[in-house]
Amino acid sequence: DIISLTDFPDPGTSIENGSIEQGESKFSLYYSLSLPSKFSLMEAPIAKQIPTSREIHGVTLEDDYAWLKEKENPEVLAYLNAENAYKDFKTAHTKDFQDTLYQEMLSKIKEDDQSVPYQKGNYWYYTRTEVGKAYAIHCRKYGSIEAPEEILIDENELAEGKDFFDLGDLEISPDECWMAYTIDIKGDEKYALYVTDLRSGTVVKEEVEAISPDVEWCNDNRTLYYTMLDEATHRPYRLYRYVVGSGKIQEPFFEEPDDAFYLNLYKTKDEKYFFLYVGSNITTELHIFSADNPTAELNLFQERRNGIEFVAEHHQGNIYILTNENALNFKLMRTQLDQPDREKWEEVIPHDPRVMIDTIDVFKEYLVIYLRREGLKSIHVRPLNGRSPFDIPFEEAVYTVSHSTNIEFDSKVLRFRYSSLTIPSSVYDYDLDTGERELLKRQPVLGGYNPSDYQSERIYATAWDGAKIPVSIVYRKDLRQNSPQALYLYAYGSYGITIEPAFSSARLSLIDRGMIFAFAHIRGGGALGRKWYEDGKFLNKKNSFADFIACAEHLIQKGLTSPEHLAIAGGSAGGMLMGAVVNYRPELFKVVEAHVPFVDVINTMLDPTLPLTVPEYDEWGNPEEKAFFDYLRSYSPYDNVEAKDYPDMLITAGLNDPRVHYWEPAKWCAKLRRLKTDKNILLLKTNMGAGHQGASGRYGRLKEAAFDYSFLLDRLGLIKEE
């Protein structure tokens, strides 16, 4: 039974966790917040409407919820708190089940674990975790892995008492005596710099804040390089040198004025040079300077040319360049360091329209190239000693592979990471001379996990224009039904990013309850190469939405699931995908989870003062141009909410999110509440102490996963007495 709180507390009253009684019945309260009396936990919060409008391209844009952008407005915080309270109230009946899921997920991970050590210089480095501690402990040992342990950083100590914590970077100086690291304690992705003298243990918080996470050491062992964030656009735009302990922030020695471009500093693997990339989403410029000289001047190696991208690596006086110039899927070129002119470049690996070159790694005697063929990653090796090139073979039909820690330039061993939908993350050492492969570690899954109990497959859906869309699926063999069953379909579909078919032990809590888990590798992502990406961006963006719908329809037509059994999810740009497809085909889905969704597309892209807006013109288009305005407006989820039935929905946000500001999901939820005609549940969950990535720490992430999974299992009717 549900009882009504008729005498609701006055504004500002705090309700602590506890219980209330009525007769012989006892009811638990699972919330603690301050809430204005006009909001009732029994009813969905209704945000007030303050009509605003503006005209662009002859079109009047109306926005009743623009006021929710006022982060310091007490009414905004009251509304977000009210939504959180309503979320807690509507999910209170799943609280015990959330705890069950959390404990279940926790029981599958080895809490006291250690990474595979790697050698750099005189030390072996690794991280480890301890039971009951949410964060990693960073350690090293001198000379061998049997030597006494030296703790560099215990993240748990740094995170104590903080709602959010993220260690952005940790870099040891070349003489192994200093450690620089960066910390974010709000989730707003603004980092502060700290330096530790490893000989004395003295920690100094340098007067450097609001920087990007990455730092690099000059080879003089006293000078650090970092990039400062532009306060308005949140992009790394200035490069600084900083002498440790000087207390003096030097003037920037490089600044990028164009809001569409950002800086990325990289130290070459042989540690001889710094490469300063100045890039937008589609254009790259490269400056090179010595890593030995703290006063070295920048040398322009390649100036920016619109639409030309590249990454480079130094190798014994040569520069290897991976570029898309006249090569949609990229090609590998080579030139000498002192001969940057493109007419002097020679081709190493030509362009192949069927194969995407993702990235390269260099060793003294080998080039290692990571490719993507037919949606699957592979490793191609090019010996530099005259031997024939070869591929490292993999056997599963659905898998992913990526580089691991390969620090030493003069090494003949490649370390890579392998995973699939059924095989946990596995670290291998591969001898590039002999071809011998050694499994160093496979992430343990406690509780008797047996990969042979599960089946992964890759199937293909057909898009409206005949394109074949890969769908990776995994299920438990003994729970596979001949009739439609619950299915979780996830996708992203933007920026050329591929959601890799990798293993997740937390996912077993769904699969072991009879769900099929599926990834839709839709256009806009990079699964099938650069053209696959190009066909899902700009004025082709609707292909992403149509592809996802085609995948859902295909899974239904094959009898794997039905609209009553289908749950879908996506985050960030994938959250925009969720918003678009529920506007187009709401009847196709039972339950939707949209995490930090980019849904207020028109208003955000029309505001160049917001972080990331200007660089995003290269992904979505600039709505100041009418063609892009009309196209964006035609699919922007917030602008296309209608008076019709929508599925059960969970929307999440982060109050400190600098990428998708909290007001986008909040405004979308408010508009959906006002217009939707169904009685299905709609929840907004705002993390009031974090940003785009949600809760920090492994336990916080598991608790969020337990909540998310409990919501969809509840709406699918799969919560049973356990």
- DSSP of 73-94, one letter per residue? -HHHHHHHHHHHHHHHHHTGGG
Enter the pTM of the model.
0.92
φ, ψ dihedrals at 77, nearest 5° = -65, -35
Q: Which of 498, 583, 590 is nearest to 546 (CA)?
A: 583
Average pLDDT over residues 100-125: 97
692 included as an active-site residue:
yes
Contact predicate 91/683, CB 8 Å:
yes
**Predicted local distance difference test score (pLDDT) of residue 611:** 86
Contact predicate 365/381, CB 8 Å:
no
**Predicted local distance difference test score (pLDDT) of residue 64:** 97
- Greater model confidence, 253 or 474: 474
Average pLDDT over residues 651-677: 97
Average pLDDT over residues 641-645: 98
Q: Which of 648, 653, 661 is nearest to 582 (CA)?
A: 648
Assess whether pLDDT exceeds 90 at residue 24: no
Query: What span, in angstroms and rounded, lies between the C-alpha atoms of 710 and 707?
Result: 5
What's the angle, vertex CA 275, arms to CA 270 and CA 280, rounded to 5? 145
Residues, the chain = 722
Query: What span, in angstroms and rounded, lies between the C-alpha atoms of 576 and 23?
Result: 48
Strand partners, 400: 419
**Please, which residues have CB within 8 angstroms of residue 310's CB and are 6 or more apart in sequence?**
284, 286, 302, 321, 322, 323, 324, 325
What's the angle, vertex CA 700, arms to CA 694 and CA 702, rounded to 5? 100
Strand partners, 197: 178, 202
Q: What's the token pair of residue 677?
A: 């005609």
714 included as an active-site residue:
no
Catalytic residue selected from 184, 648, 657, 714: 657
pLDDT in tens, 686-720: 999 999 988 999 999 999 999 999 999 999 999 97
**Predicted local distance difference test score (pLDDT) of residue 586:** 98
**Predicted local distance difference test score (pLDDT) of residue 452:** 97
The region, left, alpha or beta by phi > 0 then psi within -120 to 50, assigned to residue 59 is beta
Catalytic residue selected from 572, 636, 696, 710: 572
Contact predicate 715/681, CB 8 Å:
yes
Catalytic residue selected from 287, 315, 521, 692: 692
Average pLDDT over residues 543-568: 98
Assess whether pLDDT exceeds 80 at residue 722: no
pLDDT in tens, 484-541: 999 999 999 999 999 999 999 999 999 999 999 999 999 999 999 999 999 999 999 9
Average pLDDT over residues 557-578: 98
Q: Which of 626, 572, 638, 632 is nearest to 599 (CA)?
A: 638
351 included as an active-site residue:
no
Label the pairing between strands 223-229 and 211-217: antiparallel
Q: What's the token pair of residue 714?
A: 């509840």
Among 19-23, 381-385, 558-562, whose mean pLDDT is lowest? 19-23
**Predicted local distance difference test score (pLDDT) of residue 42:** 67
**Predicted local distance difference test score (pLDDT) of residue 205:** 83
Q: Give DSSP secondary structure letters for 156-207.
A: HHHHTT-S--EEEEEEE-TTSSEEEEEEESSSSS-BEEEEEETTTTEEEE-S
**Predicted local distance difference test score (pLDDT) of residue 709:** 98
**Predicted local distance difference test score (pLDDT) of residue 41:** 59
Contact predicate 238/244, CB 8 Å:
no
**Predicted local distance difference test score (pLDDT) of residue 259:** 95
Average pLDDT over residues 406-426: 96
**Predicted local distance difference test score (pLDDT) of residue 250:** 75
Contact predicate 579/594, CB 8 Å:
yes
pLDDT category of residue 29 using cuts at 50, 70 and 90? very low
Average pLDDT over residues 561-588: 98
Assess whether pLDDT exceeds 80 at residue 674: yes
